[in-house]
Amino acid sequence: MPHDVHPLLLCGGSGTRLWPLSRKSYPKQFTKLTGDESLFQASARRLSGPGFAAPCVITGADYRFIVTEQLAAIEIAAAATLIEPQARNTGPAILAATLELHARAPGALMLVAPSDHVIPDAASFRAAVQAAIPAAEAGQLVTFGIRPDRAETGYGWLALSEKPNADFAPVAQPLKSFVEKPDAPTARDMLDGGTHLWNAGIFLFSTNAMMAAFEAYQPEMLRLVTEAVEAAEKDLGFLRLAADPWAECDDISIDYAVMEKADNLTVVPYGGVWSDLGGWDAVWRESGPDEAGVVTSGPSTAIECTGSLLRAEDGQQALVGIGLTDIIAVAMPDAVLVAHKDRAQDVKLAVAALRQQGAVQAETLPRDYRPWGWYESLVVGGRFQVKRIHVHPEAALSLQSHHHRSEHWIVVEGTARVTVDDEVKLVTENQSVYIPLGAVHRMENPGKVPMVLIEVQTGSYLGEDDIIRYEDLYARGRGAKG
């Protein structure tokens, strides 16, 4: 590639259509849905190597340490990680990242990619990006259109002036227009006509071209986002956008904000496999159903089933389906989804219903991820709770105290360095320590391997907000997880 392309990974979505696996506390881009890496990791790896600069990431405060940890696991370091004070859709997010990149590398090429897509053939996609570079360098806003294989009503489409090449070679051509998500007859007509592609929401442009587009079509948003970037605060390795101007930005997609108004649009067709995994039916499709159309994952068993997905996420579960046809069954330790495959897009209705009931399962997984590791509740009673806590090597919880609970810690793996008021001591496997109510305490993992302990809490109130932090390595304090 003649110039390095700077990827922007968008990872602020909550993925409610893949509930109960994907939830607000840990959305689908960070889960391992179709392979050994998360969708976010696979996206970062796909957009790395020769011709690609280090990626920029934009996400929410609750996910910032998940982003860092998952990138570190695949040995990729972000050039910048922008923190949105609140989700405002892709328009403000992409503009903020454009302004940040332009300050570092004026006129650079940015490739915008959602971090929850599946594109198995990375080399083929990179070839499509390379084919788009001359148009982007010439000031075009380039989008990538996916070869459709069905009359999909869940995607927006792209209208072309002429049919792509028969072999679907990635050749840039003018984009005629964007098409909103169609009804079924319209989708069938577009599929049969051969001059429409799916809109993947992947874009390549120079920072100059995108800033000019916002100046022409969204000058007020450009002013507000510029203020949010210029007043951003550095926070550890992150850049927190300023909250006040950000809150005034319209909640609007990049398509509505500028793309559908611009007159310098180019499309590059992509003929390879692509999916946004926008529902469990897509997961079923991309997971390679067997000859009966069945996909099983985890400790699940299908007996005389057809066209169905059975997925169990806990090794101690046993999910069994008998005589099922076109059924999705997903079992988590705290929630189970059973739905007809035709209703996959309605899973978000279940999330809305649970949220209205005040059920924690609507948004929160049993395992809660923190910058130092994770914990999960094993048993919850009226005045007690039992947790398993996993602390990464050389990580530490904050120095803290509680008003309403005392704690017992039993180390089951590794070694903990424990602070209780003025006493600091090492606690090894099979040893325990008691933390009285009100004591100032901390646990650390001084070793090179993970440390695991069982925590038994007792008291009148066991909520996570019963915490006073005195010191914290991770500068938390804003957002549920900082």
Q: Are 226 and 103 in contact (CB under 8 A)?
A: no
Q: Determine the Cα–Cα distance for residues 306 and 480; give it in Å rounded to an integer.
A: 42
| More confident: 201 or 235 | 201
Instruction: Note the pLDDT tens digit of each residue in 90-126.
Output: 999 999 999 999 999 999 999 999 999 999 999 999 9
Q: Determine the Cα–Cα distance for residues 440 and 429; give it in Å rounded to an integer.
A: 23
Mean pLDDT, residues 426-446:
95
- Structure confidence at residue 478 (pLDDT): 41
Q: What is the mean pLDDT of the chain?
A: 92
At which residue do the structure tokens 């219903």 appear? 353
* Closest to 7 (Cα-Cα) out of 258, 255, 204: 204
Domains of the chain: 5-270 (3.90.550.10), 280-357 (no CATH), 367-471 (2.60.120.10)
Residue 1 has pLDDT above 70, yes or no: no
At 410, is the pLDDT very low, low, confident or very high (cuts 50, 70, 90)? very high
Residue 12 has pLDDT above 50, yes or no: yes
- Structure confidence at residue 3 (pLDDT): 65
Q: Are strands 295-297 and 141-146 parallel, antiparallel or unpaired?
A: unpaired
Instruction: Note the pLDDT tens digit of each residue in 271-306.
Output: 999 988 889 999 999 999 999 999 999 999 999 999
Proportion of the chain above pLDDT 90, given as a percent: 78
Residues 6+ apart with CB under 8 A from 382: none
pTM, to two decimals: 0.88
At 441, is the pLDDT very low, low, confident or very high (cuts 50, 70, 90)? very high
| More confident: 266 or 237 | 266
Q: Are 25 and 479 in contact (CB under 8 A)?
A: no
Mean pLDDT, residues 148-159:
90
- Structure confidence at residue 237 (pLDDT): 83
Question: Residue 325: phi, psi to the nearest 5?
Answer: -130, 120
Residue 27 has pLDDT above 50, yes or no: yes
CA torsion 357→358→359→361, rounded to 10°? 120
At which residue do the structure tokens 């302990």 appear? 453
Q: Determine the Cα–Cα distance for residues 104 and 356; give it in Å rounded to an integer.
A: 45
| 136, two tokens | 């982007």
Residue 2 has pLDDT above 60, yes or no: no
* Closest to 375 (Cα-Cα) out of 447, 457, 317: 457
Mean pLDDT, residues 259-277:
92
Proportion of the chain above pLDDT 70, given as a percent: 98
| 224, two tokens | 């507000």
Q: Are 261 and 184 in contact (CB under 8 A)?
A: no
- Structure confidence at residue 206 (pLDDT): 97
Instruction: Note the pLDDT tens digit of each residue in 376-399.
Output: 989 988 899 999 999 999 999 999
How far CA 48 is from CA of 1, 30, 346, in Å, comes to 13, 18, 35
At 479, is the pLDDT very low, low, confident or very high (cuts 50, 70, 90)? very low
| 449, two tokens | 């391997």
Which of 156-160, 197-201, 232-236, 266-270 has the least mean pLDDT? 232-236
Q: Are 479 and 61 in contact (CB under 8 A)?
A: yes
Q: Are 399 and 452 in contact (CB under 8 A)?
A: no
Which of 12-21, 66-75, 299-308, 333-342 has the least mean pLDDT? 12-21
Residue 179 has pLDDT above 60, yes or no: yes
At 480, is the pLDDT very low, low, confident or very high (cuts 50, 70, 90)? very low
Mind spelling out the 3-state secondary structure of the chain? CCCCEEEEEEECCCCHHHCCCCECCECHHHCCCCCCCCHHHHHHHHCCCCCECCCEEEEEHHHHHHHHHHHHHCCCCCCEEEEECCCCCHHHHHHHHHHHHHHHCCCCEEEEEECCCECCCHHHHHHHHHHHHHHHHCCCEEEEEECCCCCCCCCCEEEECCCCCCCCCCCCEEEEEEECCCCHHHHHHHHHHCCEEEEEEEEEEEHHHHHHHHHHHCHHHHHHHHHHHHCCEEECCEEECCHHHHHCCCCCCHHHHHHCCCCCEEEEEECCCCECCCCHHHHHHHCCCCCCCCEEECCEEEECCECCEEEECCCCCCEEEECCECEEEEECCCCEEEEEHHHHHHHHHHHHHHHHHCCHHHCCCCEEEECCEEEEEEEECCCEEEEEEEECCCCECCEEECCCEEEEEEEEECCEEEEECCEEEEECCCCEEEECCCCCEEEECCCCCCEEEEEEEEECCCCCCCCEEEECCCCCCCCCCC
